[in-house]
A and B are shown apart, each in its own frame.
Chain A
Amino acid sequence: MIKNEIKKKLADKINHWHEHSIRRVYFSVNPEDIREVATFLFNELNLRFATATGEDTPRGLEILYHFSFDKTGEMVSARVLIKNKKNPEIDSIAAIFPGAEWIEREIWEMLGINFKGHPDLKRLLLAEDWPEGKFPLRHNPEDRGQRTEKSDF
């Protein structure tokens, strides 16, 4: 099982380890370690990057990076918590492999997390007339924003 190897190799980086079931593992790491952790999972263990989930929680902004190991069907999720909601930042993992480019663009526009080192950080899904600095998946009404006028689409 790949989870045992991850637990052993990343022991000094993992803050919290949770095995929900035999094929579902969640662990949390510090935001500044994410590039190193993702490089290890993707390049050395050859896990496939499935997607990332961004969430606005009361404690801060959370990103879950879901990696899948298809030989055993394990789904490994690395969790980071960015406490600074005013100016959230994290290293981009799209610099390691291009498959993460779109999801980071999506999290950037939906939650306002700045991905440092992303090759082309621009809007992916939101309309062009969506106001700057408003993020629809934030829970605080002042940060959410709405469209001011109807566009042609």
Chain B
Amino acid sequence: MSHKVVIPIGPYHPLQEEPELFRLYVEGEKVVDIDIVLGYMHRGIEELSEHKHFDQVPFLVERICGICSSSHPYAYVLAVEDIMGGEAKIVPERALYIRTIIDELQRIHSHLLWLGLAGHFIGYNTVWMWAWRYREPVLDMFEMISGNRNHYGMSKIGGVRRDIQDEHIPILRKALDDLVPAVDMFKGAVMDDPVIQARLKGIGILNKQQSIDWCVVGPTARAAGVDIDVRRDDPYGAYDRVKWSVIVQKDGDIFAKTVVRILELYESVGIIRQCLDKMPKGDIDANIKDVPPGEGIGHVEAPRGECFHYVKSDGTNRPIRHKIRAPSYMNVASNKIAAVGGTISDAAITLAAVDPCYCCTERLAVLDKHTDKKIMNGWDLIKLSQEKTEKLKGNI
């Protein structure tokens, strides 16, 4: 009879901000079951939001996630504007373009961050360093536009808080021009590398039907052939005014998820360039004073998928109910399918492949189920993953 052991992954990892605990049940090398424990960072933001007035809430929800920190306030203001008749009717044209530019810059920095981490987990530390090196100029652009590298504070009900200055536009364009060769390099390094193909193809698969059943969103769904993207399906901002395409792959494995994210970087660069070309002069804020009673839904395509906010107002200056659903909430649950049946050496990259706002592999430890004695720690597991890559390198 085989010996079943439990591997707890998490809850804390210093690189990412959201702790979570995965208990992997393994027999030998094979993962036979997984238990996902959440709640280490449950701050009760939905409840807190009911005690803030409408203009304070964007600053609160911005702090849900440090990586998609424009998506949450954007989805929230869309929900409030939905109560008042919709973003397109209220918000000035220039503000729509500025919102779109910020949203896409955020996608670029988030995808580069994930690419680096994914590289690290499979032993490509060069990819890690290079990806994060090219992420820096994007953060500098944020600092130039909003004053902050993270938590931009740009979204406001009825518009944006800061304008993009004319003298900043050429600098932004230059940063994008410098980024494209870097993305070309990553595209070549990942898509043409036989070792990465051998390492990432066919593992951590979530097929199309499973993606639909688990209601996953974003690149995780698109990698499996589910053609959804809120930016196209329910357009907000200036997405219906620019030309771009939704990247869809069909395999559903980790390689497909990587390809989706890399190709989306090109689309994001294209969207920002078109927005800079088309952005009209004018107001950036509609000066909304009151929110009427009613209920509204706002959803945006965050880097990880659909970010959903529901706001109910009773005509006072506070929301009476504010429901928030981050994309990882749907995607992380699907690890139950993607990781089970794989091996431990694939677990680190599989759990990271949905791009959860966290990845706790550093605190990974293998415990014997009966004695709780530590057999392996987190570094051993990353090492295991990296050793597998080395072994594949030798074979190819």
Contact = CB atoms under 8 A, between A and B. Distances in A.
Interface of A: 20-21, 23-24, 26, 46, 48-51, 53, 55, 64, 66, 68, 70-73, 75, 77, 97-103, 123-127, 136-137, 153
B215 A75 contact: no
Interface of chain A, main secondary structure:
mixed
B39, B215, B312, B321 interface centre (most CB from chain A within 10 Å)? B215
Given A26-B295, A48-B215, A123 B39 contact: yes
Interface of chain B, main secondary structure:
mixed
B82 A98 contact: no
Interface of B: 38-40, 42, 44, 46-47, 82, 85-86, 212-216, 227-228, 230, 233-235, 294-297, 299, 306, 308, 310, 312, 321, 323, 325, 329-330, 333, 336
A102 B39 contact: no
Contacts of B85: 21
Contacts of B299: 50, 68, 75
8 contacts: A21-B82, A26-B295, A49-B215, A73-B235, A75-B234, A75-B297, A97-B213, A99-B333
Given A48-B228, A125-B38, A136 B233 contact: no
A99 B213 contact: yes
A77 B86 CA distance: 17
Given A53-B321, A55-B312, A71 B233 contact: yes
B297 A77 contact: yes
A70 B228 contact: yes
Contacts of B233: 70-73
B82 A24 contact: yes
A21 B86 contact: yes
Given A20-B295, A137-B47, A99 B214 contact: yes
Contacts of A103: 325, 329
Contacts of A48: 212, 215, 228
A60 B214 CA distance: 29
Contacts of B308: 50-51, 66
A125 B42 contact: yes
Nearest to B12: A153
Given A55-B312, A70-B228, A97 B215 contact: yes
B234 A102 contact: no
Nearest to A128: B39
A118 to B, nearest CB: 14
A127 B39 contact: yes
Contacts of A127: 39, 42
A126 B46 CA distance: 14
